[in-house]
Chains A and B, each alone.
Chain A
Amino acid sequence: MIHSSGNGMMSSSAASSSVGNSQSPGLKTYFKTPEGRYKLHFEKTHPAGLLHYAHGKAVTQVTLAQLKEKPAQLPPTPTGSSSAGGVRSAAARLLGGGNGSRALSFVGGNGASKAVAGSSRIGSMGVSSSSGSALCSNYDGKGTFLIFNVGDTVFISDFNSQDKDPIKSIHFSNSNPVCHAFDADAKDGHDLLIGLNSGDVYSVSLRQQLQDVGKKLVGAQHYNRDGSVNSSRCTSVAWVLEGDGAFVVTHADGNLYVYEKGKDGTGDSSFPVIKDQTQFSVAHARSSKSNPVSRWHICQGSINSISFSADGAYIATVGRDGYLRVFDYSKEQLICGVKSYYGALLCCAWSMDGKYILTGGEDDLVQVWSMDERKVVAWGEGHNSWVSGVSFDPFWSSPTSEGDVESVMYRFGSVGQDTQLLLWDLVMDELVVPLRRPSGGSPTFSTGSQSAHWDTLTPVGTLQPAPSMRDVPKLSPLVAHRVHNEPLSDLIFTQESVLTACREGHIKIWMRPAHCENQSSSSENVLSNSLKEKPLLSSKVGSYKQ
């Protein structure tokens, strides 16, 4: 049974969406939350009049990439453990925030200090465009960039510039790029992964792409060439945390592959026939020379999204069959899982402490799964269509969380095909959750003990059926805001802002309340006027120089 506040939510948002049906959409440039206004700061998009034939074929995904200074200019980097505690905790929060690859890609730029090895790899592979790099050789290579795919193109925009247009476009002639991931700590220069509709995957150096003036991918390593290993669509790519260049690629046929960066797959890269499509199975490459090195058959039908836990120990997958599955990555073992209320799941994300996983999908619900309790602890009702992006806000600090572990509040967001961004608060005390066990006292995620203690609850690898409507507490959103005219596809939280992307490749950057106040009060003016005014944020890192 749906509680009354949920119904109220539905009707009010229904009213707002019917307003949008009129010709002039009247999208607001701000939305209110208890902590203040979020204001539209920048918009990013692809050049106008482009790619209408590609409508609906490739859904825009966004990767946030922070390029550090050139390795040569860096002082010898200390190891992660020797850096200040504050830095480490910040890194941990950052890591937990986003969905897998995005979170991983963001952390490097924000103080996680892994040594970056020289980019000798690029040279050895033969850079295809020497003229391009010569032209931009004075490029300082620092900055934060938005990488997003539209149609047959990957666009790169400067995150901190108010320029709407991208600074770089990379065309793919054979197939559409559909997913990407960035690792700021990547060794040997290749830090960007791009997965294609054809199943092909590339790893490249982002810096090298920015230095090149052409419209083609340069210095790329090509994996699964022409779908030789798997010809079904790539659905997501992600770097393995501290995986020494290992990355995973998921496909529309329910398989996940582990690759090693820079390794030419010269060995036999065939895998045994999957005996039971419905069962999880792992196969390792027959030859040590082959790439991919292993194949995980996860489910029947597409794997739609994956997310690594903050510590990289666990990987969550969601797919067409509606199941959320959680695996121990190094043990290659299924830990637990649950079926959606109904329909496919489309997105997933871990909380920063690894205790909760959000999923969203075709039942219009935002689902909160508790790793400790091994059950669905809440369903968020508020979207009027499928939920296409979920993320915890890793920068949210609860006003009541001081020293009180039991009432830790989480802030998370979701975007849907109803064009809405919803923000939610999760306060465990408010949810009726029977049989709560005392938690370990520390909110930090501890791999060994946690895992052992999970095992006592349910047998490892048990997939739970869909809960019934009556049994799951409901959440109502804090804020519901219509963001675009098109269905939304992605959501990222950064320290200063919230990013929303729609399927057609329009991105909006919403400044958090604190940051709105810190800046001049003119941000609304900036928006209402042309976006081509003088830069507002001269103090920001990484203004792009050509």
Chain B
Amino acid sequence: MGAAGSKLEKALGDQFPEGERYFGLENFGNTCYCNSVLQALYFCVPFREQLLQYYTSTKSPSDADENLLTCLADLFSQICSQKKKTGVIAPKRFVQRVKKENELFRSYMHQLNFERNNLRVSHVQDAHEFLNFLLNELVEILEKESRAIKSSPETSSSEKSVNGPINGLANGTKIEPLVTWVHKNFQGILTNETRCLRCETVTARDETFLDLSLDIEQNSSITSCLKNFSSTETLNARTNFSVTSVAGFVLSHLSNLQEAQKRMKIKKPPHILVIHLKRFKYIEQLSRYKKLSYRVVFPLELKLSNTMEDADSEYTLFAVVVHVGSGPNHGHYVSLVKSHNHWLFFDDENVEMVDESAMQTFFGSSQEYTSNTDHGYILFYESVSTIGTS
């Protein structure tokens, strides 16, 4: 442990960033899904800073009610207050808490992914499901706290601390559904437009998202996957059912085998754009999931052009959660994280420096059968406009 740390310190030399800590996370048996996501979130600097600020502002009174948020904040503050610059930390309390919530987690996932029907009996958890669960859980806790504060009489000043200290957006506190600092980092808005081809009625419905799950194709790029995501899709009678259920409206004649066009547009791009590549595909004939090892290239910089906003919003890649393994039921998760212009490779306890060009080894393979099983699975992009301000 000490040796690994000093090796990284040696590699960074006097370029070791002031005040930064690079700590591996101990694996408690199949908790790499958790570790890889935690590293990505830790090095999501605005998220980390706001979590720590929240932690210091609400620490004292309710120490007793431990929840996922306090456990995460506790872990992050533990890492950043280490005397040593590198080393290993055991995220024990956090993982125990996650396991405690595990039942809830599973039932929650059950609701969310009704098509999956709990078919997976594996002990390896899905990193994306975990991230989704964690962020939603944090939001719920913050909302609960906010409601609790609101219900008590002397409030208006302390409401601000719930919403996070950075209230650059002046209207942040005035929006009816509570916008927490988790939302401010990760939430974007999609507009789901459906045009009935007979009556030309366009129905638009906004949906919020914390991440985008993209279908992938062999030998494609993230740019192309995003285009496919928002491209116009013509729905015939057979798929009309899903239109009505997804978009949440019913045109009376849609049941009469009419065609409709559907498209998704990003109305409000998030500050942190999380892209999930749908590498696990359910194969009906096999009644199981198959991993798609497709080569999907992801650039270090990205722009969303097909948005409703005038300017093209620009992003830079800062973390990649990588799934290692040939199938969904066995495997490992690692992560690549950019910190102070260096890329670091986190594999549970181990932390190494890697060259930026190593990214291409995680794109996937053009061949069906391949020895390379390390594939980019969740990509974290940060909006360039927010980098300077945080």
Contacts and interface: CB of A to CB of B under 8 A. Distances in A.
B366 interface: yes
B305 A17 contact: no
B299 A342 contact: yes
A383 B297 CA distance: 13
Interface in A299-344: 301-302, 322, 341-344
A55 B223 CA distance: 24
Interface stretch (A7-15, A94-102, A157-165): A7-15
B160 interface: no
Interface of A: 1-2, 7, 10-11, 14, 17-18, 20-21, 23, 52, 55-56, 252, 301-302, 322, 341-344, 362-364, 383-386, 417-419, 468-469, 485-487
A7 B217 contact: no
Nearest to A339: B301
Contact of B312 (A52, A385, A417, A469): A469
Contacts of A2: 227, 305-306
Interface in B136-174: none
B300 A10 contact: no
Contact of A11 (B219, B231, B294): B231
30 contacts: A1-B305, A2-B305, A7-B231, A14-B224, A14-B228, A17-B219, A18-B218, A20-B218, A20-B219, A55-B370, A56-B360, A341-B312, A342-B299, A342-B301, A343-B300, A343-B301, A363-B223, A363-B299, A363-B303, A364-B223, A364-B224, A384-B217, A384-B221, A385-B220, A386-B297, A418-B219, A418-B224, A469-B305, A469-B312, A485-B367
A384 B303 contact: no
B218 A17 contact: yes
Contacts of A20: 218-219
Contacts of B371: 52
A485 B219 CA distance: 9
B50 to A, nearest CB: 27
A60 to B, nearest CB: 13
Interface string B301-334: 1110110000110100000000000000000000
Nearest to A59: B360
B302 A342 contact: yes
A11 B371 CA distance: 31
Residue from B217, B232, B302, B360 whose CB has the most chain A CB atoms within 10 Å: B217
Contacts of B297: 362, 385-386, 417
B228 to A, nearest CB: 6
B30 interface: no
B295 interface: yes
A468 B314 CA distance: 11
A343 B317 CA distance: 10
The SS class assigned to the A binding surface is: loop
B373 to A, nearest CB: 13
A302 B224 CA distance: 25
B303 A385 contact: no
Given A362-B297, A364-B224, A487-B295, A342 B219 contact: no
B66 interface: no
B224 A487 contact: no
Contacts of B299: 342-344, 362-363, 386
Nearest to B317: A343
A428 B312 CA distance: 26
A17 B223 contact: no
Contacts of B295: 417, 487
B147 to A, nearest CB: 41
Given A17-B219, A385-B219, A418-B219, A10 B227 contact: yes
A307 to B, nearest CB: 22
A487 B231 contact: no
Contact of B224 (A343, A385, A419): A385
A525 to B, nearest CB: 30
Interface in B220-274: 220-221, 223-224, 227-228, 231-232
B221 A417 contact: yes
A342 B306 contact: no
A418 B222 CA distance: 12
Contacts of A52: 371
Contacts of B228: 10-11, 14
A522 to B, nearest CB: 32
